[in-house]
Amino acid sequence: MALIKSLNGNTPAFGNNCFLAENATIIGDVVMGDDCSVWFHAVIRGDVHYIRIGNKVNIQDGAVIHATYKRAPTNIGNNVSIAHNAVVHGCTINDNVLIGMGAIVMDNAVIESNVIIAAGAVVTQNMVVESGSVYAGSPAKKIKTMSPDLLEGEIKRIADSYLMYSEWYK
């Protein structure tokens, strides 16, 4: 069973049909929607500010979700994939987003809906990532407009796949 820890009077809350890997860690003021998965060695640490996670969100192996004390909570929308070893910190991620492997999203950044953040990209503090775009690099820059194929073939496909994978572990 995952390490689920109450802290400062806050206990993580989970929606229906969520999978939490045995060595995932979820602490404090965390609220997660339905059909979510938190994979091996992932950490969601709601100790210094709240973390809100929508429905059908997968937080893959080694990812870290955190916030900044009294300044920057973390809000994650629906149908979001946060890939292996990504860091999501004190930011807002809207619906239908893929955060690539090893990407970093910093405080007060806003990722609008229907976006891919490429593997290894660094979304800097206060940056607004435009809806319907693909961003890459360090610092992240728009490299192209999202095509329907990318939206369906990557963002939706990965979110759906992780929902299926999570059923294998239940």
Q: Please compute the mean of the pLDDT values over residues 80-94 and round it to a whole number.
A: 98
Query: For the chain, what is the mean pLDDT?
Result: 97
Residue 1 pLDDT grade (very low, low, confident, very high; cuts 50, 70, 90): confident
Q: How far is CA 42 from CA 2, 50, 80, 149, in A?
A: 10, 17, 15, 29
Indicate if the pLDDT at residue 45 is higher than 90: yes
Q: What percent of the chain has pLDDT over 70?
A: 100
Q: What percent of the chain has pLDDT over 90?
A: 96
What DSSP string runs through 69-106?
TTTB-EEE-SSEEE-TT-EEES-EE-SSEEE-TT-EE-
CATH number for the domain spanning 105: value is 2.160.10.10
- What pLDDT is stored for residue 84 in this prediction? 98
Q: Please compute the mean of the pLDDT values over residues 60-69 and round it to a whole number.
A: 98
Question: Considering its fold, how many domains does the chain have in total?
Answer: 1
- What pLDDT is stored for residue 20 in this prediction? 98
The domain of 112 spans: 3-169
Q: Please compute the mean of the pLDDT values over residues 97-125 and round it to a whole number.
A: 98
What radius of gyration, in Å, describes the C-alpha atoms of the chain? Answer: 15
Q: Please compute the mean of the pLDDT values over residues 77-97 and round it to a whole number.
A: 98
- Find, among 45, 89, 93, the residue nearest to 71 by Cα: 89
User: What's the pTM value of the predicted model, to 2 decimals?
Assistant: 0.97
